[in-house]
Structure 1
Amino acid sequence: MAVFEYKALNSKGKKLSGIIDAESTSAAKLKLRQQDIFPTLFKKIESGPVVNKKKSTPFFKGISPFSKVSSSELSMITRQMSTLLSAGFPLVKAVATLVPQTKSKTMQRVLSRVKDAIEEGSSFAKALALYPNVFSPIFINMVNAGESSGTLEIVLERLADFTENREDSKKKIQASLAYPFLMSFIGFGVLLVLLTYVVPGIVNIFSDMNQALPMPTRLLILVSSFFKAYWWGIVLTPFLCFLVVFLIRKSEKGAYFIDNLLISLPIVGTLLKKIIAARFTRTLGSLLDNGVPMLTALNITKSIAGNRVIYELISKACEKVEQGGELGETLSQSTAFPYLASQMIKIGETSGEMEKMLEKTADLFEKDVQTAVTAATSLIEPIIILVMGVVVGGIILAICLPIFEINQLIQ
């Protein structure tokens, strides 16, 4: 059955667009006319997977588990699919029902092709695997495990929860950091304007004075002159730094160096390791809980580490597990992975409750990260205000000191 994309008008003259499947072009147009929809543009969608021309490295394709389609939209579709299957809908009919309800054109095309693949005899997981830019290995393997065990609707519900939880955690951290970053940006802009345009006009008044200016005033004139002459360099410096880091990361050694440097930093490094540990344990626990074998789960989760040092550590752990070793023991041998996380994994391996212990570890580190970010932002805000107050106060003092001296001479 072919898939067609159309633009049309309804009986009231309202513009519509969407996707429809039918045996042929004429059958598709007839189906639309029966719904009082009159196509103005009709195009057959070629079969085959949706491919993203940009190739991502295995280290970063897992940071956002689903590309092309937003996590929130995929989560919603997954939950709706679970609801339909729980209500007794056949899989093909459930997928077909979701096609017109999806806002994203990309997702409409993908779901239509997935439905066709299932009708042709493919399994749901294999049909999803044709679109790696939409469905991550985590998603596909969990669906495969759900199909094999006959609990597809339960697995889809867990997938929706998993995606929503990760998205919520990311949004909370972003929201916590947004205000301090905005304050810093505005503060720097105000300072740049003051030193580049406002201060030079004021200090020119003192240039004709025949007496020595106070040290703070001379320092202010020096700083202001530097900002006025090289303001473009100051503005471009952050962009140049980002460009240098980007170029360094293009090489494998350079990227490894930067990743190692990031997790070695005193405060930021500790927080980053906790974020990675939470992501790793949450994903691994979800995969194991849904029947994915340990080695397969480890090979998937190492791709979402987002850090080459930890990627290599998990790869090493995967080899040890394949040889009969223990995951927690291997992870505990490196300072790149939080010690507490590796110990909790050891307990899970010893007690035989690995999945529960991984979930508890993820909960613990996610709460710890959220608490640390909240505490940091609560400190950053007053520090930014204090620094801005000191800087602006220093500028005012440097301008007022010569005025006070002139008043004393007049008296």
Structure 2
Amino acid sequence: MADFEYTARNGQGAALTGRLEASSAQAAAEQLQARGLIPVMVRAARPNAAESLNLWLARLGSRSVSTESLMLFSRQMNTLLRSGVPIIRALRGMQDSASDKRLGETLGEVRQSLESGRELAAALARHPRVFSPFYVAMVRIGEVTGRLDAIFDRLFVHLEFDKFMVDQVKAALRYPSFVLGVMAAALVVVNIWVVPAFAQIFAGMGAELPLLTRFLLGVSRFMIEGWYLLLAGAIGGYLGFRVWSGLPRGRLVWDRFKLRLPVMGKIILKATLARFARSFALAVKSGVPIVQALGVVAATVDNAYIGQRIEGMRDGLERGESMLKGAIGTQVFTPVVLQMIAVGEESGALDELLDEIGGLYQREVEYELKTLASQIEPILVVALGIMMLIMALGIFMPIWDLGRLALKGGG
């Protein structure tokens, strides 16, 4: 079961809003109709700040499993269900043979939930660290349509695509991360051992030091004497950022900022849109209505800002607008993609063309990742050069001044 927000009208035409619990948006709409209300809008409920914080804390303490283990689980479920094996029996077998201990424990708890009368989707939803909202939503669709085996097969393909994208990003960021790590280590070494040695020399000069030199000496002194403050600040800043970015407003601001990052912003945008296109195509192929599919995918694209724009598309469809108009309003799709959406709406093959859009974005992301190192390298070189220039000027300017004074005195 899940919570849904709704807007409906009563017999007098007055608008009513609220929340209710149901297995799907369609079931929520049926509940409203049974009460004599006319559903206007039904969508998955958005968590408030307190709920988001509680969810984040729950995920922090809950178990997680690797994508490979979840892919294997999806493939095994597809095979067993297609062979006619009951779900509880299938889960018991996978629990006993699971190579991932955490997944085996989770499947045991899922099986117990099923034996107590819960639906499979509801049982999976109790483990948000393992099964994403999109995964749970697709399983719920499979239960409603009776195509659970096909859903698990498509989820396997979806997870395989996600893993490929993550692996590509990690591989592309390995070199820049190494360079940044070396720069940070060099900065620490210089401030702790090199600058203090020069500080002793400068102290014997008895002359006023340049502003840049005084700044470097102050930074070095603070790192040596106030290292515990730096450490506490770093830990506190990290924890504070994690909590802030886990709240709805904070995550929205942070996800929007990520899209504006130089070099990486366009890669994140294309990777997110590739995931959206593939997920949306999967949902539509599985028989989910377009409006409901947009609502499910908007909550699972892993970017709150893009999710907000997709929700705008869904709201436009509910008002009778075309999907093309909604996509144009998001201002995130390229002209080529907009043209494909227009053709998909006209031909009735929107799911197939969106799948092609996902492939198009995937190829663009692959190309961007292959050239990522060459794009970031000039930025790293410039940053390293500026850092070395500041260090050199701050350390050697007093020595140069002392040399000029000595030459004048000798003259």
Shared fold, TM over 0.5: yes
Equivalent pair of 2:53/2:247 in contact (CA under 8 Å)? no
Deviation at 1:243, TM superposition (A): 6.5
Aligned residues: 351
State the partner residue of 2:294.
298
Q: What one-letter code is carried by the residue in structure 1 that aligns with 2:70?
A: L
- Structure 2 residues not aligned, in runs of 5+: 1-49
State the partner residue of 1:49.
none
State the partner residue of 1:80.
76
State the partner residue of 1:344.
340
Q: What one-letter code is carried by the residue in structure 2 that aligns with 1:226?
A: G
Q: Specify which of 216, 221, 224 is matched with residue 229 of structure 1.
A: 221
Q: What secondary structure does 1:99 align onto?
A: helix
Deviation at 1:150, TM superposition (A): 5.5
Alignment pair present for 1:329 and 2:321 = no
| Structure 1 residues 128 and 394: CA distance shift in structure 2, 3 A | closer
State the partner residue of 2:275.
279
| Structure 1 residues 222 and 304: CA distance shift in structure 2, 3 A | same
| Structure 1 residues 208 and 137: CA distance shift in structure 2, 3 A | closer
| Structure 1 residues 116 and 313: CA distance shift in structure 2, 3 A | same
Question: Structure 1, residues 238-279: CA drift from partner, whole Å, max 9, x if none?
Answer: 667656756765775565455444445665544443233222
| Higher-helix-fraction structure | 2
Question: Structure 1, residues 1-33: CA drift from partner, whole Å, max 9, x if none?
Answer: xxxxxxxxxxxxxxxxxxxxxxxxxxxxxxxxx
| Structure 1 residues 55 and 199: CA distance shift in structure 2, 3 A | same
Q: What one-letter code is carried by the residue in structure 2 that aligns with 1:80?
A: Q
Query: After the TM superposition, which residues 88-103 of structure 1 pair with which residues of structure 2 at under 5 Å, given as runs?
Result: 89-103=85-99
Q: What secondary structure does 1:154 align onto?
A: helix
State the partner residue of 2:314.
318
Equivalent pair of 1:285/1:355 in contact (CA under 8 Å)? yes
CA RMSD of aligned residues (A): 4.2
State the partner residue of 1:354.
350
Deviation at 1:363, TM superposition (A): 1.8
Question: Structure 1, residues 196-238: CA drift from partner, whole Å, max 9, x if none?
Answer: 431331353355458x89xxx8466323212123334777776
| Structure 1 residues 384 and 109: CA distance shift in structure 2, 3 A | closer
| Structure 1 residues 86 and 307: CA distance shift in structure 2, 3 A | closer
Output the CA distance in 1 between the equivalents of 2:297 and 2:55.
10
Alignment pair present for 1:365 and 2:361 = yes
TM-score by length of 1: 0.68
Deviation at 1:192, TM superposition (A): 3.3
Equivalent pair of 2:252/2:305 in contact (CA under 8 Å)? yes
Identify the range of structure 1 (263-272 vs 76-85) with the bigger mean alpha-carbon deviation: 263-272
Q: What one-letter code is carried by the residue in structure 1 that aligns with 2:216?
A: S
Alignment pair present for 1:190 and 2:186 = yes
State the partner residue of 2:200.
204
Output the CA distance in 2 between the equivalents of 1:240 and 1:120.
43
Output the CA distance in 1 between the equivalents of 2:203 and 2:128.
67
Identify the range of structure 1 (358-367 vs 191-200) with the bigger mean alpha-carbon deviation: 191-200
State the partner residue of 1:111.
107
State the partner residue of 2:149.
153
| Structure 1 residues 236 and 116: CA distance shift in structure 2, 3 A | closer
State the partner residue of 1:377.
373
Equivalent pair of 1:78/1:157 in contact (CA under 8 Å)? yes
Output the CA distance in 2 between the equivalents of 1:70 and 1:315.
29
Output the CA distance in 2 between the equivalents of 1:135 and 1:391.
45
Deviation at 1:75, TM superposition (A): 1.3
TM-score by length of 2: 0.68
Query: After the TM superposition, which residues 43-62 of structure 1 pair with which residues of structure 2 at under 5 Å, given as runs?
Result: 55-56=51-52
Output the CA distance in 1 between the equivalents of 2:244 and 2:109.
40
- Structure 1 residues not aligned, in runs of 5+: 1-53
